[in-house]
Amino acid sequence: MNKQFSMFGIALLILIVLTSVILGLAAGPTNPLTWLLVAFLISIPFIHKKMAKRTYIEWEDSYSVGLNSIDLQHKKLINLINQLQTAVDYSTGEEFEREALNDVLDYTKTHFTHEEGLLEQHGYPELEPHKAEHLRMIKYIEVTIAKYEKDPDSSINNALDFLKQWLINHINGTDKQYSSFMLEKGAQ
């Protein structure tokens, strides 16, 4: 469904319910349907929060790789992916989506450069396969941006699902593999 249309549909539904409640209360507060609609209106923020939790990534302590600088960068990457999700959810327009997507790409590159530099500095033996995994991710984001330019609506949600899944899997899998080695080397 078109994003703008679905946001418009939700806003229209809330407006209809709100009008029904006002008319219901004005006619006399005894109608149970009016109170049912009041309960629905009150529950909207809770429903919204629950739905948002499913789409946004929340940092968990279990994601820590034990190195402060890396954890901070992973948190920032999560924030940037969440910002992209916000841009898509609230239909802020293609300009903002494109900017958010480019921010994800730029900061992913920054993070990979920092992480690889730190691993190299401490002589991490699995650096090359780790670098190759990073390179595949960069390529994926670049291809996604190219697809986005051609067909924004259909490519962005797939990209978001992939980015979220990839980041958490990479942190919990490939990144965590260096934790004990790097901590033993005194990295922070």
Considering the complex, state which of residue 97 and residue 130 has its C-beta at the smaller distance from Fe ion: 130
| Shortest distance (Å) from residue 68 CB to Fe ion | 13
With 0-12 CB in 10 A as exposed, 13-18 as middle and 19+ as buried, what is 12? Answer: exposed
| Shortest distance (Å) from residue 174 CB to Fe ion | 6
| Shortest distance (Å) from residue 159 CB to Fe ion | 19
Q: CA of 84: how far to CAs of 34, 51, 77, 101, in Å?
A: 38, 16, 11, 6
d(CA 102, CA 111): 14
Is 97 a binder of Fe ion (CB under 5 A)?
Answer: no
Q: CA of 180: how far to CAs of 4, 61, 124, 176, in Å?
A: 48, 17, 11, 8
Task: Please choose, out of 25-33, 95-103, 121-129, 168-176, the segment that lies near Fe ion by the rule CB under 5 A.
Answer: 168-176
Task: Please choose, out of 17-25, 145-153, 169-177, 179-187, the segment that lies near Fe ion by the rule CB under 5 A.
Answer: 169-177
Neighbouring CB atoms inside 10 A of 92's CB total: 15
Is 119 a binder of Fe ion (CB under 5 A)?
Answer: no
With CB under 5 A as the contact rule, the residue among 175, 178, 182, 187 that binds Fe ion is: 175
Residues near Fe ion (CB under 5 A)? 115, 175
